[in-house]
Chain A
Amino acid sequence: MSIYYYLSAFLFCLGLLGITFKKDLISMLLCLELMLGGVALLFILFSKATGFIDAQLMVIFMMIISACEVAIGLSLIIALYRKKQTIYTNDIKILTE
């Protein structure tokens, strides 16, 4: 059981690190998904360990919502790309001048 815990914690941390250090927006979005995937695994794991199925419900909703989030994120990236012709965060900074 604990190997799954480490796996999901690893996935979560990998996503968190990726989103902090990656420089292109698509990869950041992928890392975000990785993070949520890790958490979903964790929920299933705890659901199995405790014997309550509430958490499995949570995972289904998480999958739906993260799909929405990625759809919105991608469309925002496209909207920005149309104006700036780039998806690298270094070239985009306007607001924090």
Chain B
Amino acid sequence: MYLNYLANISRYIPELLLVVLMVGIIILETTYKEDDKNKKYVFITAFIGLVATFVSLMINLSGKSESIFSGSMIIDPFSTVMKMVMVLGALGCFYLSTISSEIYESLKTEFIIMATGILIGGMILASANNMLMMYIGIETLSIISYVMASLKKNDERSSEAGLKYALYGGVSSGIMLFGMSHIFGAIGTIQFSGMAAIVSKLSHNQLLVLLPSFVLFFVGIGYKVAAVPFHMWSPDVYEGSPTPVTTFFAIVPKLAGISALVRVTMIFFSFQSPLRVGWVGLMMAIAALTMTVGNVTAIGQKSVKRMLAYSSISHAGIMIAALTTVNQIGISAVVFYGITYLFMTLVAFYITSIVQDNYGNDHFERFQGLAYRYPFMAIMMAIVMFSLTGLPPLAGFVAKFNIISALVESRYYTLAMVLVLNSVVSAYYYLKIVRLMTLKNQESDEEIEGFGFLNQLIIVSMTVPVIVLGIFWNGIMAVASGAKIFIQ
């Protein structure tokens, strides 16, 4: 028994490394004086820690899938790949936090500590295999997010964003627990593994109880993913929080939520049952709504950050759409989409953050004439915008193509049509930035401080995958299609 636990810990090293990193940074920070500006060792430690986590995740990827800690967590290729994407996202956000002026100097280490905490929560959520673990994952993710959203202490918008997030989060997790309690009442266990067998034996009435419970259960995850009926918090929080925090929220909690949703869908609904019909119908409606509402609302926005927030809502909708297929093709498409979404979002937010730091706000006009002042950065931004729209030969196109082909293969033609039409709508607001950058004269000649050589290099190195994945997607696609869900 104890030996079993010890053996399990070897599969759990990435999470443990992050915990050590978090505690280590807390201790390291106390060695600095209050007004010490130069905290570079903290960042170096954080980078080393994340890289070590990434490497240990890669080692984990080659091992066999198994459930650990008495079946409360599952280590399978899917969760490991999603965790790797999350770690990369966190790595990008850490660097952005060091160069952003929106996070006060004294709070920069705090950002890293909290982001590591959220990352741990996301990793728990990605491999949760019972309801308790899922709840703990969601709450670890959420509770630290509330604080992180209000990191800009002197800005009342930031405080309000945090409070709003806390209240919405509390309500949605309450509703989720209400659903979970009913699922437990009908099934009699909180373990996901083996639930499928019990579900198939249930009587008609019990199934009738289960479907509404699953809908309530979805509220909790849907809120984390910002799926449409529960998306109201997302634009406010994204706009109110400092930009590095927004970047982090757009990547880590979202992908964690998506991976939890994938696991729930695959475990409970991968076999034919009346439940599956209901759940797939629900997912379809929510995916279509999420895409459409996100895109249509993004059109009218003045702030680039708020626009990107709405666009990230619509991207979540696209990922949910792929889930409706409930098969491995759909899951691979989701994983591939997650990987491309990571790079596209990072570049878009990096450039927005740097422009915003310089001008003090992030309205669309601030991008005017960027192509004449910083042609290279403007090209990168344009590439990312084209990719987010889904134009070939960029990564966004391949990602969307995978999802559409998965949908067509399952004969969900309507949803595929909605997805294509939404891509057309999204072209309007994405290309608006490209138009402003190239066609308008710039407002002022002043240099943008953030576009130093190093930052430009980092932005370019993050844009390279967006181009490369659009042409040579085979390698990553192989990883994505190897990302199988492990069901006991």
Residues of chain B with a CB closer than 8 A to A84's CB: 156
The residue in B166, B180, B182 that gathers the most chain A C-beta atoms within 10 A of its C-beta is B166
**Cβ 8 A contact of A36, one of B163, B167, B177:** B177
Whole-angstrom distance between the alpha carbons of A61 and B162 in the complex?
Answer: 23
Tell me the nearest residue of chain B to A15, going by C-beta.
B174
Residues of chain A with a CB closer than 8 A to B182's CB: 42, 46
Residues of chain A with a CB closer than 8 A to B236's CB: 95-96
**Cβ 8 A contact of A12, one of B162, B169, B174, B180:** B174
Minimum distance in angstroms from A11 CB to a CB of chain B: 11
Whole-angstrom distance between the alpha carbons of A52 and B131 in the complex?
Answer: 14
| A58-75, CB < 8 A from B | 58, 61-62, 65, 68-69, 72-73
**Counting CB contacts under 8 A, is B380 at the interface?**
no
**Counting CB contacts under 8 A, is B147 at the interface?**
yes
Residues of chain A with a CB closer than 8 A to B177's CB: 36, 39, 43, 62
The range of chain A's interface size is: 35 or more
A94 pairs with B150, CB closer than 8 A: no
Residues of chain B with a CB closer than 8 A to A35's CB: 170-171, 174
Tell me the nearest residue of chain B to A82, going by C-beta.
B159
A95 pairs with B189, CB closer than 8 A: no
Residues of chain A with a CB closer than 8 A to B161's CB: 95
**Cβ 8 A contact of A80, one of B136, B159, B188, B189:** B159
Minimum distance in angstroms from A43 CB to a CB of chain B: 5
Whole-angstrom distance between the alpha carbons of A30 and B412 in the complex?
Answer: 45
A79 pairs with B170, CB closer than 8 A: no
A68 pairs with B143, CB closer than 8 A: yes
Contact of A61 with B136 at beta-carbon distance under 8 Å, contacts A15-B174, A50-B188 already known:
yes
Residues of chain B with a CB closer than 8 A to A49's CB: 185
The majority secondary structure among interface residues of chain A is helix
Minimum distance in angstroms from A90 CB to a CB of chain B: 13
Whole-angstrom distance between the alpha carbons of A28 and B164 in the complex?
Answer: 11
Binary flags per residue of B165-184, CB closer than 8 Å to A gives 1, else 0: 01101110011011011101
B156 pairs with A83, CB closer than 8 A: yes
Binary flags per residue of B231-250, CB closer than 8 Å to A gives 1, else 0: 00000100110000000000
A72 pairs with B146, CB closer than 8 A: yes
Whole-angstrom distance between the alpha carbons of A54 and B187 in the complex?
Answer: 12
**Counting CB contacts under 8 A, is B440 at the interface?**
no
Contact of A94 with B160 at beta-carbon distance under 8 Å, contacts A32-B171, A36-B177 already known:
yes
**Cβ 8 A contact of A83, one of B159, B164, B170, B185:** B159
Residues of chain B with a CB closer than 8 A to A28's CB: 167
| B134-149, CB < 8 A from A | 135-136, 139, 143, 146-147
Whole-angstrom distance between the alpha carbons of A52 and B135 in the complex?
Answer: 19
**Counting CB contacts under 8 A, is A7 at the interface?**
no
**Cβ 8 A contact of A32, one of B160, B174, B188:** B174
A19 pairs with B132, CB closer than 8 A: no
**Cβ 8 A contact of A54, one of B170, B190, B240:** B190
A residues whose Cβ falls under 8 Å from a Cβ of B: 12, 15-16, 19, 25, 28-29, 32, 35-36, 38-39, 42-43, 46-47, 49-52, 54-55, 57-58, 61-62, 65, 68-69, 72-73, 76-77, 79-80, 83-84, 92, 94-96
A to B CB contacts below 8 Å, 24 in the list: A12-B178, A35-B170, A35-B171, A36-B177, A39-B174, A39-B178, A43-B177, A46-B184, A51-B188, A52-B184, A54-B184, A58-B131, A58-B190, A61-B132, A61-B135, A69-B143, A69-B166, A69-B170, A73-B163, A76-B147, A76-B163, A80-B159, A94-B157, A95-B157
Q: Kindly list 16 other residue pairs between chains A and B, CB separation below 8 angstroms, not including A32-B170, A35-B170, A46-B181.
A: A25-B163, A32-B174, A36-B174, A39-B177, A39-B178, A47-B184, A50-B184, A54-B191, A68-B143, A69-B139, A72-B146, A73-B146, A76-B159, A79-B159, A80-B160, A94-B156
